[in-house]
Amino acid sequence: MLRDITLGQYYQTDSVIHRLDPRVKLVATFVFIISLFLVDNFIGYLIAAAFLACMVKISKVPFRFMVKGMKSIVFLLLVAVVFNLFLTPGEPLISVWKLTVTKEGLRLAAMMAVRLVFLIIGSSLMTLTTTPNNLTDGMEKLMSPLKRLHVPVHEVAMMMSIALRFIPILLEETDKIMKAQIARGADFESGNLIKKAKSLVPLLVPLFISAFRRANDLAMAMEARCYRGGEHRTKMKPLIYHRRDRYAYAVLLGYAVVSVYFGRIFTL
């Protein structure tokens, strides 16, 4: 039943992008998103599109997996486009009833749509090519300078990786409890909204209890192994930059310079 849901959607294959250091991918995604919002002409978006297309190609992840991620933002996309289309003041193009489409509005709406689509594809490329554990490792390392400001970077990263680790476990648990209650005649499907919400009680109460029990057990197990946070902890697989990571940074820098130059400063 619930097995079909995939979260933390890593796509297993072997490509240069998969092998890159997670820090590179995080920085690259960040730079790419910033570039999307800096650029404001057609050439700039063309460059971004070409860059993204190359990365998708190199990653060997089928394109349909990235489209999957898009489904969740269709609504947001629609709202953004419609509002920009009708509510931007400027030179009117078409006017129906009280709604007026302006030239500026059309431009803004198109830009917003392209930005959002590229943003989603870009960030899902990162999650598709990096395992959740690698991702949190990368974040911890990238944010480690914040430790000086007493930000609990290690603790936050640890919490994130534990949360991610527990998603499949809790899904399985949900499936099990659901089946047990169905075996006792529970009905999770029929009835109106209130009845449906009520019918979730026999599922949610045991699920919460089991989540707390597991959390408790894990805390105990960690303490039994003398876990005490980030101080002086070493890693089993420390993140080390390789030559390919340096090349990747160079490519990224190239992209950033080119896209900002042509997309913002350079005008025909």
Partner 1 sequence: MAIILDHVSHIYEAGTAMEAAALKDVSLMIPDGQFIGLIGHTGSGKSTLVQHLNGLMKPTSGHIYYNGADIHEEDFNKKELRSKVGLVFQYPEHQLFEIDVFSDVCFGPKNMGLDEKEIQLRAYAALKQVGLEDDYFYQSPFDLSGGQKRRAAIAGVLAMKPEVLILDEPTAGLDPKGRDEILDQIAALREETGITVVLVSHSMDDVAKYVDRIVVMNQGSVLYDDEPRKVFRYYKELEEVGLAAPQVTYIMQALKEKGFPVEADILTIEEARDEILRALRHKGIAP
Task: Provide Rg for the chain, Cα atoms.
Answer: 24
The one-character DSSP state at 145 is G
Q: What backbone torsions phi and psi does residue 99 show, to the nearest 5 degrees? A: -95, 135
Task: Please give the full DSSP string across 32-74, using - where no structure is assigned.
Answer: HHHHHHH--SHHHHHHHHHHHHHHHHHHT--HHHHHHHHGGGH
Interface residues for partner 1 in 206-225 (CB under 8 A)? 206, 209-210
230 binds partner 1 (CB under 8 A): no
Q: How many CB atoms lie within 10 A of CB 203?
A: 17
Query: Of 33, 77, 182, 251, which lies in the binding site for partner 1, with binding defined by CB under 8 A?
Result: 182
Query: Of 40, 187, 217, 223, which lies in the binding site for partner 1, with binding defined by CB under 8 A?
Result: 187
Sign (positive or negative) of CA dihedral 5, 179, 171, 193: positive
Rounded to an integer, what distance in angstroms lies between the CA atom of residue 65 and that of residue 24?
A: 22
Strands (E), the chain: 92-96, 99-102
Interface residues for partner 1 in 120-179 (CB under 8 A)? 173, 176-177, 179
Interface residues for partner 1 in 80-99 (CB under 8 A)? none
Interface residues for partner 1 in 243-262 (CB under 8 A)? none
Query: Of 53, 163, 205, 220, which lies in the binding site for partner 1, with binding defined by CB under 8 A?
Result: 205
185 binds partner 1 (CB under 8 A): yes
- Nearer Cβ to partner 1 (143/207): 207
3 binds partner 1 (CB under 8 A): yes
- Nearer Cβ to partner 1 (159/209): 209
201 binds partner 1 (CB under 8 A): yes
183 binds partner 1 (CB under 8 A): yes
Look up residue 82 and give its two tokens.
Answer: 């419609």
List of residues contacting partner 1 (CB under 8 A): 3, 173, 176-177, 179-187, 201-202, 205-206, 209-210
